[in-house]
Structures are given as C-alpha cells and as structure tokens.
C-alpha cells in the first residue's frame, strides 16, 4: 500500500469525475493510504456546492459525494502549529490552501496526488507531485 497526500482537486475527481482519469483514480484508491489536512473537507464541500449550483451534478450526487469524501481520507492533520508555519513559508509560490497540502506531503515524505496541473508544476514545489 502506497501513501499519498491527496488534495481536494484529486478527491473531487475521484468522487464525481466522469473521465477515464477519474475511473483510473477510483481504481487506485483501495491501494492507497490517503493523508490530508483537515482543510480538505471544507474545500471538497465548497467544490461540490459549485458543481451542484452549475448543474454539473445533482443534489443526490453531491450529498453522496460529500458523505463518501469523509470516508476516503485515512489520516487527517490539523492545519495549525508546525504544518501552518511550513505552509506559511511557502506563501510566495502557493496559496495557503495549496501550501498546506505541499507542506504535509513534504513533512511525510510522500507524493502529493493532485488534479491541479498548475500546482503539480509550480516552482518551489517542496514535494513530489503526481498529476492525475
């Protein structure tokens, strides 16, 4: 089993994506131990809300996705203290939200799994990133 920090973009892709990449990611999930900052729950909820409001997903799919999202993270980490300080030090290259994932992946020495192309190629990335 491989460990990854998974960000909200990858988790949302796994939850509601309708592409081959989403299918491939869903197939890999059982083989992973998934880590994330507590922030992921709020970010995923916000993205699901936007998808529902835009008509990309229905209410039932959004409700189910939010419920399942809570089950897909094996280890959550508080985004205060050392993690927040490390993320803050990355603020010149990343939003604080993204920096929390990068800092956690760096601290755990595991890859960051993301569907965000910009993040995966950002200068100053302090961890390995895998684009899905």
**7 is annotated as contributing to ligand binding:** yes
Under 8 Å between Cβ of 106 and 86: yes
How many C-beta atoms lie closer than 10 Å to residue 102's C-beta?
A: 25
Q: Helix axis angle, 39-53 relative to 96-108, nearest 10°?
A: 130
Tell me the C-alpha distance between 71 and 59, whole Å: 19
Phi, psi torsion values for 36, nearest 5 degrees: -165, 155
Q: Which residue has the tokens 């760096």?
A: 106
98 is in an annotated binding site: yes
Q: Binding site: which residues?
A: 7, 98
Q: Binding site for Mg(2+): which residues?
A: 7, 98
């Amino acid at each position: 089993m491989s460990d990854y920090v998974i960000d909200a973009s990858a988790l949302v892709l796994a939850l509601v994506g309708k592409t081959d990449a989403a299918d491939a990611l869903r197939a890999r999930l059982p083989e992973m131990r998934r880590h994330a900052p507590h922030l992921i729950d709020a970010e995923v909820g916000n993205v699901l809300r936007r998808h529902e409001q835009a008509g990309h997903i229905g209410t039932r799919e959004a409700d189910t996705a939010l419920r399942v999202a809570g089950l897909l993270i094996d280890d959550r980490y508080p985004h205060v203290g050392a993690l927040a300080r490390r993320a803050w030090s990355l603020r010149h290259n990343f939003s604080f939200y993204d920096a929390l994932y990068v800092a956690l992946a760096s601290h755990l020495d595991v890859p960051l799994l993301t569907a965000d192309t910009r993040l995966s190629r950002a200068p100053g990335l302090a961890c390995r990133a895998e684009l899905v």
